[in-house]
Amino acid sequence: MVEARIGISGWRYRPWRGVFYPKGLRQADELAYAAERMTSIELNGSFYSLQRPASWLRWRDGTPDGFVFAVKGPRFITHVKRLGDVDAPMANFFASGVLDLGAKLGPVLWQLPPTLRYDEGLLDAFLARLPRTRADAAALAARHDDRMSGRASFPAAAAGATGETPIRYAVEVRHPSFEETADEWAALLARHGVASVTADTAGKYPRLDRTTADFAYARLHGEEELYASGYDDPSLDRWAEWTRAHLEAGRDAYLYFDNDIKVRAPYDAMGLIARLPRPASSSAAAAPAPAPGDP
């Protein structure tokens, strides 16, 4: 059955404490609190640095059964290496413990830098390198370099996932050349079965709403002000319609709110969840959150 997974990009934000998170809630309990109210969370720490296996296990075990994480791929691959010469960094990423999430591993997100233009050859080669199953990812991870010695974990099968379990990928672009070559870019993604991220960025970056995989992925950074403005009821209704259209077409849908500065993201996520059927395995939105007030 297809399902919608809706949540937030990251969960550890100081301004959320005492607003979304109740006063006195331990920082160690914030993930569990958020996971009770969302159906998914986008893991952003993996974008900034390689995480340790103990962290992946803690996140997996600290969330409800049926919960799903999207995982942001390392900026070392996208922003430093700029998608070239990435065999070792890719192996290190998959050796870091991400596969320990087991069945809770959702799509892997690759966010490209605003300075990276559309380059069909470069992009085609990068997409072709992505391991398609957990077994493929484990085999790639086994070729990690010395940086991962003594801190690697890459089980092909873990916590409800087998070696044949596929790994999904999505790509978010930010250079205007992707708008100019939208048809070519969509065709390239479709050849690889990779989702094109529909990004709402208050008009700053391209908004490409293309279906290129068996699932849809949206990142909502703010409708009027990047990372800050919230989504009103008509806007949430429109995103609910977008989500239902994909579900009715037989595609899973993943949506993440990244408008965190004014503590809008968790409330907008819960507002969208309330407009849609929840995954049967999820208890999200069953527990109330404090009212947002006027942050």
Asked if residue 181 is part of any domain, the answer here is: yes
With contact defined as beta carbons under 8 Å apart, do 240 and 275 qualify?
yes
pLDDT at residue 293, as a whole number: 45
pLDDT at residue 284, as a whole number: 62
- Domain with residue 20: its CATH number is 3.20.20.410
pLDDT tens sequence across 132-167? 999 999 999 999 999 999 999 999 999 999 999 999
Beta-strand relationship, 215-220 and 169-172: unpaired
Asked if residue 269 is part of any domain, the answer here is: yes
Number of domains observed in the structure of the chain:
1
Look at residue 295 and tell me whether its pLDDT is greater than 50.
no
pLDDT tens sequence across 235-289? 999 999 999 999 999 999 999 999 999 999 999 999 999 999 876 655 565 444 4
pLDDT tens sequence across 89-114? 999 999 999 999 999 999 999 999 99
pLDDT tens sequence across 165-205? 999 999 999 999 999 999 999 999 999 999 999 999 999 99
Asked if residue 259 is part of any domain, the answer here is: yes
Q: Which residue has the higher pLDDT, 291 or 67?
A: 67
pLDDT at residue 289, as a whole number: 47
The b-or-e profile of 166-205 (16+ CB within 10 A means b, else e) is ebbbbbbbbbeebeeebeebbebbeebbbbbbbbbbbeeb
Q: What are phi and psi of 185, to 5 degrees?
A: -65, -45
CB atoms within 10 A of CB 25: 15
pLDDT confidence of 23, banded at 50, 70, 90? Answer: very high
Domain of 107 in residue numbering reads as 4-274
Look at residue 38 and tell me whether its pLDDT is greater than 70.
yes
pTM, rounded to two decimals:
0.94
DSSP string, 147-158: GGTTS-B--SSB
User: Two tokens at 33?
Assistant: 């609190």
Nearest in space to 240 (alpha carbons), one of 195, 199, 274, 200: 274
Q: Which long-range contacts (CB under 8 A, 24 or more apart) does 277-282 make?
A: 277/3, 277/4, 278/39, 279/3, 279/4, 279/5, 279/39, 279/66, 280/1, 280/66, 281/65, 281/66, 282/39, 282/64, 282/66, 282/67
Distance CA 240, CA 257 (A): 13
Asked if residue 250 is part of any domain, the answer here is: yes
Asked if residue 281 is part of any domain, the answer here is: no
Asked if residue 294 is part of any domain, the answer here is: no
pLDDT at residue 286, as a whole number: 46
Asked if residue 295 is part of any domain, the answer here is: no
Look at residue 292 and tell me whether its pLDDT is greater than 90.
no
Look at residue 294 and tell me whether its pLDDT is greater than 60.
no
Look at residue 67 and tell me whether its pLDDT is greater than 90.
yes
Distance CA 31, CA 194 (A): 28
Asked if residue 291 is part of any domain, the answer here is: no
